[in-house]
Amino acid sequence: MSKLMIALFVSAGLGVGGCATQRPAPVAAAKPMAPVVVAPITKDAYDLSIRNADAQGKMDKDACGTRSGNAKDICMAEASGKEAVAKADAEAAYRNTPKEREGARVARAEATYNVAKEKCDDLAGNTKDVCVKEADAALVKGKADAKVDRVAADARQDSATKQADATREANMLKRDADYKVAIEKCDALAGAAKDSCVSNAKGQYGKS
């Protein structure tokens, strides 16, 4: 395994299920991707992350120039995948939405897929066909899982918003009800005492 491949695993979290020369390991057996969890970042931090990803991507791709044939293709797929994942992670951290977190997971699935497909090119016949189908299946599963998580996150967010709206409405209704009680009590008074009571009630319940 090349140093570049190791770096890809560590920094991008790619579970590339490549195919071995004799008996290719099933791509689907790769460790399932966990939901992308990133701390929100500022616009400046986002811009810096994109610049760093571009610079690192160029360095990694330049390093592939010393290779040839399919080894070079694999190296380029690894470099491109690492760059794409870094940018998707930055986007997810900056936008901080379920959609962007889904995008980061899809970027990982596609990066894994592209490397796996290149590795399949080292094989032939049915062994290669199986390798490609396993890579295809892993991509489909990765995207499907990412969508499920995004839909679930959207539902939680929508539920939280609706609950907050309902709470605000309930508090307003209860406040109005209490205000009417306070005003009604003022009716038992007269003159300055009543005026003071009404004024205090309005102040307490935010009425003009």
The 10s digit of each residue's pLDDT in 17-66 is 433 333 444 433 344 444 455 678 999 999 999 999 999 999 999 999 99
Domains in the chain: boundaries: 3-158
Specify the length of the chain in residues.
Answer: 208
Instruction: Identify the helix (H) or strand (E) that includes residue 27.
Output: none
pLDDT tens figures, 103-151: 999 999 999 999 999 999 999 999 999 999 999 999 999 999 999 999 9
Per-residue pLDDT at 16: 40
Q: Give the pLDDT score at 188.
A: 92
| Assessment of whether the complete model's pTM goes beyond 0.75 | no
Distance between CA atoms of residues 63 and 171, nearest Å: 63
- Please give the Cα distance from 85 to 33 (Å, whole number): 13
What is the distance between the terminal CA atoms of the chain, rounded to a whole angstrom?
74
